[in-house]
Structure 1
């Protein structure tokens, strides 16, 4: 499984993705100097949400690599000329400049920055997608794979029969059962419980049996960022179904009253989900969380509520989520969930 630490350790790997500077603006808007080409050390520190000292220390350790990607320090007449051309105002006798390649280089070297980590994840996502695009004349599945697919269909068929045939049969019998009505209701409840547990067991078994390396993190976030809002909602519904949820309904764009998906968890709790496919550099704010709290708890009477976003949450929004019992599925948690790690609240 490829993870972002690979870029921290391998200069060869960093060099292979150095042209993908567009990743910077996908993760967070990068402000440039008036020349439209460079940023200063202070601007780099602001972008990565770290101290200036952290950037200066990184430059000290990796100066040769950064210089190879355009980093340079101006002084003397060269600095004077740059100030005249760019319009920058500075009394400093020297000025460090970073082109976009050097800023991306910093992202692949800076350990203690969530922004840098997201940039590394995005780079590996793009590489993974590029390497896994379907090609013509792909090989046919082997016998073991075909048997696994058949077993999967049998399990799905059993749960389908329980939910769509046996339970309705009990419903019909209960209406005309008279003195045996109570016993039939108990039996129906038992069948519904078995159905839910079978779905949950099958989902967990498949996750345990599949090798972890077959569920890489790479490719996860780039694929979701490329989705439309509607596609993202259906993708989240697929994850819920994978983790044993039933009665999943993806609500329409109009009239959803602040909730995008409703469902039942594997153990029968009412679930409400809000989905936001936002750009990675944006944030979910407290007013958005407050609106969802009202919709999920009051309008939908949910037992479990998820606010799923492809970006991060402001500290105020996280505080409201914690107080209201809302699970904030931020970008990092969503990445792990999509890769196969079940959300704690759904277990």
Structure 2
């Protein structure tokens, strides 16, 4: 398996995995400008949770590599046009006058993740990226087993995506440039088309990921369904599992004012139960600091008899040590899959 250090040092290795831009959203949602294709330097910095100056310094050191992967610096009339179409909804964020603006493609943002050393988010992206490459090498797709319908669906999806990206979106761009009265409506329609194009790409990525990781698993499809849930749906899923295992008075509290827990309940034998639910990307583990926060909420504020920390991912060794020391039951990805498939949670029995 490729080592992370080698990825940081070798441009050849970076180039070999730059097509996997979908990993960015697996780790953390990447907000895009209205054109659906670019972000600004400030947005790149926000994604990686670093200062703007860090990204600007990286740009100075690796400008040629980043430009080859979609970084562009706009000036003059091109900058004015881009700002009018994409930055009008960000009042006050881009002071006037501005002589230039760097815009980054998703590929360039992934390039940053493979160059940025001092960012936890960048490290998570690299880990996810390398693991996906390892799976692709060790679990090759059996094209014959996937069937004719899958191949046909692929061709249809790829054809639609090609038409949307190469024909429909440019057509809207041309109409927007020449239109005055219906400019806003055309921009909104273009955004809808680009969202459909992105969903088709995401759908193909999800199918590919499932095929790469398929194998003799007893609970096929369960975690795929859970991964598709948003945080609120995941909390309600945990509440359903608690009720199924005999708990009563099950209440979902997630969101502002939840006092540090997402679900409270009472076990069949009368013990009080609190649960914290974390819907994270599979390659983003739960850290010890998150366990420490939950300890205060579960033991001090709620005085719970049973404290559950349920996550769609794994826990770091430090987090597991804290949980063991203070009696917190950890439900990691593997246990969550079994629990969701009908295996009762032993601590509730």
TM-score range, shorter chain: 0.3 to 0.5
Q: Compare relative contact order (CA 8 Å, sep 6+) and give the higher one, 1 or 2.
A: 1
- TM normalised by structure 1 equals 0.47
- TM normalised by structure 2 equals 0.47
